[in-house]
Structure 1
Amino acid sequence: MTDFRSWNTGRLARLALVPAAAAVISLVPLGGTAYAAGCKGTACENKGPVAMVCDKDARTVASGEVYSSQGGRTDYELRWSNTCWAGWARTGSGSVYASTISIEKWNPDRTVLVSRRTVTVKNGQHDWTNMVGGKGYMVRACAKEANTGRSTCTGFLGTDS
């Protein structure tokens, strides 16, 4: 017959493993796990899209290009995240010439610039701006070439759509 103390000790040792195993299993991400965004709407204002996980569902909604006097070109994009309800500008996957890219947030009738986030990009480098966010605004991405000051912007995106 099994001694009560040895049975009890063995059972307690096995029971102690259950919480430890559960803790380890909880650290393993499951397939299809959704990662929560770190902000939404105006709470995303001036925050980074990657740091806030807004880049996970983002899509390019408009793009443009600006040319330098030497024939160089900067491709840029207006990115939008429906989860975060925020947008940002980034250099495109094509060429990049020394430029400043920006995202602008305007009031609905486009008469008042509410906020602008910019980043200066060197030749051959890629980068993105911090975000602007919120419903009921108009947003667009712009690029300004460093040497000539030439600039272009995408069309406006209404943030209610």
Structure 2
Amino acid sequence: MAIITGVFAWGVPSAYAVGCYGETCYNKGPVAMGCTKDQRLISDPAWRGNLQVLYSPACRAAWADSNWEPLHSCWYLELERARSNLIVQSRLRVEHCPGEAREWTNMFPGGWYYRAVRNDTASGGTADYTAWVFR
């Protein structure tokens, strides 16, 4: 009679297989870091449905996302962050141009107020904002 012994390695949940956490996510891409695996919509889902703030509990970080395809000229997708006084402390920005169906910003670590911005002011347009959300 043979006795078989061994150690079984159970898989780590995918939510923990991320490339950054908190402060280490600063200005890193959510897709590249694996943070989209457990993303949560934290901005108002009724707001046009195409400009939003997403958050990953596993990464403890937020980013702005848009599937609002530009028709004629490029515009900026921005994620702004602020403390409780809601004065913008900093922003991350990515240019979104015609032919690009989806775009997202890099991430800020949690513990701030955030809002997504569709900024077309450089070409004479306007800026659209989601409401501030905290994570």
Question: Does TM, scored on the shorter chain, surpass 0.5?
Answer: yes
Q: Letter of the aligned partner of 1:131 in structure 2? A: M
| 1-structure distance, mates of 2:97, 2:24 | 29
On the 8 A contact 1:104/1:132 being kept in 2, the answer is no
Partner of 2:24: 43
Partner of 1:59: 40
Flag the structure with larger Rg: 1
Residue 121 of structure 1 pairs with residue 121 of structure 2: no
| 1-structure distance, mates of 2:59, 2:84 | 19
Q: Which has the higher contact order (CA 8 A, sep 6+)?
A: 2
Paired residue for 2:65, among 90, 104, 121? 90
Deviation at 1:123, TM superposition (A): 1.4
On the 8 A contact 2:21/2:60 being kept in 1, the answer is yes
| 2-structure distance, mates of 1:51, 1:144 | 25
| 2-structure distance, mates of 1:56, 1:36 | 9
Paired residue for 2:54, among 79, 99, 104? 79
Partner of 2:3: none
**What TM-score does the superposition give when structure 1 sets the normalisation length?**
0.64
| 2-structure distance, mates of 1:114, 1:134 | 14
* Deviation >6 Å, runs of 4+: none
Unaligned runs of 5+ in 1: 1-25, 66-74
C-alpha RMSD over aligned residues: 2.6
Deviation at 1:124, TM superposition (A): 3.2
Report the secondary structure of 1:39's partner residue: coil
On the 8 A contact 2:51/2:130 being kept in 1, the answer is no
**What TM-score does the superposition give when structure 2 sets the normalisation length?**
0.75
